[in-house]
Amino acid sequence: MTLVMGVLNVTPDSFSDGGRWASTDAAIAHAIALQAEGADLIDVGGESTRPGAGRVAPVDEQARIIPVIEELSRRGLMISVDTLNSSTAEAAAAAGAHIINDVSGGLADPAMASVAAATGLHYIAMHWRAHAQEMDRMTHYDDVVVDVRTELSARVDALLAAGMSADRIILDPGLGFSKVTEHNWEILARLNEFDQLGLPVMIGASRKRFVASVLPADAQVLERDLPTAVISVLAAQAGAWAVRVHDVAGTRTALSVLARVGSARMDS
C-alpha cells in the first residue's frame, strides 16, 4: 500500500504555504493535524528548495526543525527530515527522525552518504543536478527516463560504497528538479521503468510548477491539489512506495477510492 508523506515546511519562504508553519508551535500543531488527516509520515524541512531559493546555513536549519522533530518523536509520529546537509541529518537522527529525505541524493554534501549510513536510517535519494538557483539551466536529457534512471543508479552505487545497505535506500525521480514541464509528465507516464532499479520509489509532485499546466493560467497554488491527488493515484497504481503531498486529506481520500475499487475487483 502506498504511504502518504505529509509535507511540513518550517520555513519563512515556502512557495506552497507562505511560511504558515515557520514557528515551532505552529509546525507541531500542523504535523499533528496532518497525522489526523491520514499522513503515515511527516516530512520536516527547514530549507526551501523551490526554484531560485537561497541556501540556509545548517545551524539555522537545525534551529528551525530539531525542536519540532524532538516533540513529534516524543508524540510517536513517524518523521522524515528533508535536508541536504549531513550535520542536519545526523542531528535529526539523534532527535528521533526515522528517514533522511535528501533531494540531492548525496551530491550536495560529500559527507552525507557516510553519515546517513552511520545513522542506520532509511534514506531517500532524489534525482538532482544542481541547487535551486541553477537547476533550471540543467534540463537537457537525451531520454529523460533513461537518463534519470542512470543517474539514480550511480547514486545507489555511491551509497552502497559508503556502507549503506540496499534495503534502506528509496529513490525519487525528482519531479520539478532540473526538468521542464514535459519531462515530468513523461516520467509519470513511464514510472514502471524505474522498477528496473529494484528499489522503492517515492513520488513528490505536490503543488509543483508542472502541475499548473493542466489548470487555467490564473489558478492559485492551492488549486494544484486536485491534479496532485490524481497523480498520487497514478503513482500508487504504478506501485509507488509513497507520495509526498501537502494536501493529506484529499490524497488519502483519492487513495481510498483506489483501494475500494481494487477490493471490489478482488471480490468479483
Pick the catalytic residue from 179, 207, 224, 244.
244
The residue type found at 139 is T
Q: Which of 73, 70, 157, 169 is nearest to 116 (CA)?
A: 169
Is 252 known to be catalytic? no
DSSP letter for 54, please.
P
Q: How far apart are CA 263 and CA 256, in angstroms?
A: 10
Strand ranges (E), the chain = 3-9, 41-45, 79-82, 99-102, 122-126, 169-172, 202-203, 242-245
Report helix angle 86-95 to 58-74, nearest 10.
20
Q: 108: which 3 cell numbers?
A: 550536495
Pick the catalytic residue from 155, 207, 208, 252.
208
Query: For residue 183, how far is the Cα from the chain centroid?
Result: 18
Torsion-angle region of 174 (φ positive above 0: left; ψ -120 to 50: alpha; else: beta): left
Is 244 known to be catalytic? yes
Q: How far apart are CA 268 and CA 109, in angstroms?
A: 52
Q: How far apart are CA 75 and CA 98, in angstroms?
A: 14
For the annotated catalytic residues, the residue numbers are: 208, 244
